A and B are shown apart, each in its own frame.
Chain A
Amino acid sequence: MNPELHLILCIATPLLGAGGILAAGQRPNLREAITLSTAVTLFALVLALNLHPEPYSPTARPFEIFPALTIAFSLEPLGLLFSVVSSGLWIVTSVYSIGYMRGNREKHQTRFYFFFAVSIAAAQGVALADNLFTLFIFYEALTLCTYPLVAHKGNDNALRGGRVYLGLLLTTSIGFLLVAMVWTWQLAGSLQFVEGGLLTGRLEGGTLLALLALYLFGIGKAALMPFHRWLPAAMVAPTPVSALLHAVAVVKAGVFTVLKVTVYIFGLDTLFQSNAAAVMMWVAAATLLLASVTALRKDNLKARLAYSTISQLSYVTLGAMLATSMGVVGGAYQIAAHALAKITLFFCAGAIYVAAHKSEVSQLDGLGRVMPFTFGAFFVASLSIIGIPPLAGSWSKWYLMLGAAESQHWAMIVVLIISSLLTIAYLMPVPLRGFFAGSGNDNQGFQWRNVREAPGTCVVPLCLTALACAVLFFLGDSLYRLILPIAGQQ
Chain B
Amino acid sequence: MTTEHFPILQVVLPLLAAPVCLLIRHPRRCWWLAMTVSAATLVISVILISTVYASGPIVYHLGSWAAPWGIEYRIDRLNSLVLLIVSGIGSVVLLFAHGSLGFEVKRSRQYIFYTAWMLCLCGLLGMCATGDLFNIFVFLEISSLSMYLMIALGYEHRALNAVFSYLVMGTIGATFFLIGVGLLYALTGTLNLVDLSNRLEPIAGSPTVLTAFAFIILGIGIKAAVFPLHWWLPDAYRYAPNSATALLACTASKVAVYLIIRFVYDLFGPGFSFKSVQLTEVLLAAGVSATLLMSTVAVFQNDIKKMFAYSSVAQVGYMVIGISLASVAGVTAALLHMFNHAVIKSALFMALGTAFVRTGGFSIDQIQGMGRYMPWTMAALLVAGLSLVGVPLTAGFVSKWYLILAAIEHDYLWLAIIVVAGSLLTLAYVWRVIEAGYFKPIPNHIEQRREAGAGLLVPLWILVLANLYFGIDTSLTLGAAHGAARALLGIAQ
Contacts and interface: CB of A to CB of B under 8 A. Distances in A.
Nearest to B401: A182
Interface string B411-436: 00100110011011001100100010
Interface in B440-493: 471-474, 478
Contacts of A203: none
A106 to B, nearest CB: 16
Interface in B388-421: 389-393, 398, 400-401, 404-405, 408-409, 413, 416-417, 420-421
A234 B473 CA distance: 35
Given A66-B474, A170-B427, A175-B417, A140 B409 contact: no
A190 to B, nearest CB: 13
A63 B472 contact: yes
A269 B423 CA distance: 35
A436 interface: no
Contact of B435 (A66, A159, A175): A159
A360 to B, nearest CB: 28
A176 B398 CA distance: 17
B392 A136 contact: yes
A166 B478 contact: no
Given A140-B392, A144-B391, A178 B405 contact: no
Contacts of A159: 435, 439
Nearest to B416: A179
Given A66-B398, A140-B391, A140-B392, A174 B439 contact: no
A182 B416 contact: yes
A428 B261 CA distance: 67
A182 B408 contact: yes
Contacts of B471: 65
Contacts of A179: 404, 408, 413, 416-417, 420
Contacts of A170: 389, 424, 427
A171 interface: yes
B404 A65 contact: no
Interface string B372-398: 000000000000001001111100001
Contacts of B393: 137
A186 B423 contact: no
A151 B438 CA distance: 11
Contacts of A186: 405, 408-409
B417 A65 contact: no
Contacts of B439: 151, 154, 159
Contacts of B435: 159, 163
Contacts of A227: none
A159 B435 CA distance: 8
A163 B428 CA distance: 9
A14 B184 CA distance: 65
A190 B329 CA distance: 16
Contacts of B417: 175, 179
Contacts of A474: none
Contacts of A66: 398, 474, 478
A184 to B, nearest CB: 10
Contacts of B420: 174-176, 178-179
Contacts of B473: 63, 65
B358 to A, nearest CB: 22
Contacts of B413: 179, 183, 210
Contacts of B409: 186
Contacts of A178: 400-401, 404, 420
Contacts of B478: 66
A185 interface: yes
Nearest to B393: A137
Contacts of B472: 63, 65
Interface residues of A, number: 26
A26 B276 CA distance: 70
Secondary structure dominating the interface of B: helix
A141 to B, nearest CB: 8
A144 B409 CA distance: 30
Contacts of A175: 417, 420-421, 423-424
Nearest to B390: A174
B431 A174 contact: no
A167 B424 CA distance: 8
Interface string A159-170: 100010011001
B207 to A, nearest CB: 40
B360 to A, nearest CB: 25
Nearest to A207: B413
A175 B414 CA distance: 11
A56 B377 CA distance: 44
Contacts of B391: 140, 144
A59 B87 CA distance: 41
Contacts of B390: 174
Contacts of B416: 179, 182-183
User: Which of B392, B398, B405, B417 has the largest count of A CB atoms less than 10 A from its CB?
Assistant: B392
A126 to B, nearest CB: 13
A151 B398 CA distance: 30
A185 B471 CA distance: 18
Contacts of B398: 65-66
A282 B401 CA distance: 32
B53 to A, nearest CB: 18
Nearest to A155: B439
B416 to A, nearest CB: 5
Contacts of B401: 178, 182
A137 B408 contact: no
Contacts of A151: 439
Interface in B156-199: none
A166 B432 CA distance: 12
Contact of A174 (B405, B408, B424): B424
Nearest to A136: B392
Contacts of A137: 392-393
A159 B437 CA distance: 13
B424 A171 contact: yes
Given A163-B431, A175-B417, A185 B424 contact: no
A175 B422 CA distance: 9
Nearest to B329: A186
B456 to A, nearest CB: 25
Interface string B70-84: 000000000000000
A178 B404 CA distance: 9
A170 B409 CA distance: 24
A30 B390 CA distance: 38
A175 B408 CA distance: 14
Contacts of B405: 182, 185-186
A303 to B, nearest CB: 23
A153 to B, nearest CB: 10
A175 B413 CA distance: 12
Contacts of A133: 392
A384 B393 CA distance: 41
A115 to B, nearest CB: 12
B224 to A, nearest CB: 26
| Residue among B398, B404, B471 with the highest chain A CB neighbour number at 10 A | B404
Contacts of A185: 405
Contacts of A182: 401, 404-405, 408, 416
Interface string A44-63: 00000000000000000001
A79 B424 CA distance: 30
A171 B422 CA distance: 11
Nearest to A185: B405
Nearest to A182: B404
Nearest to A177: B420
A449 B71 CA distance: 96
A174 B404 contact: no
B170 to A, nearest CB: 36
Given A66-B398, A170-B389, 12 more contacts: A63-B472, A65-B472, A159-B439, A163-B435, A167-B431, A174-B389, A174-B390, A174-B424, A175-B417, A175-B423, A179-B420, A185-B405
6 contacts: A65-B471, A174-B424, A174-B427, A175-B424, A178-B401, A183-B413
Task: Enumerate the 7 nearest inter-chain pairs by beta-carbon distance, A residue then B residue, closest first.
Answer: A182-B404, A137-B392, A66-B474, A175-B420, A179-B416, A182-B405, A186-B408
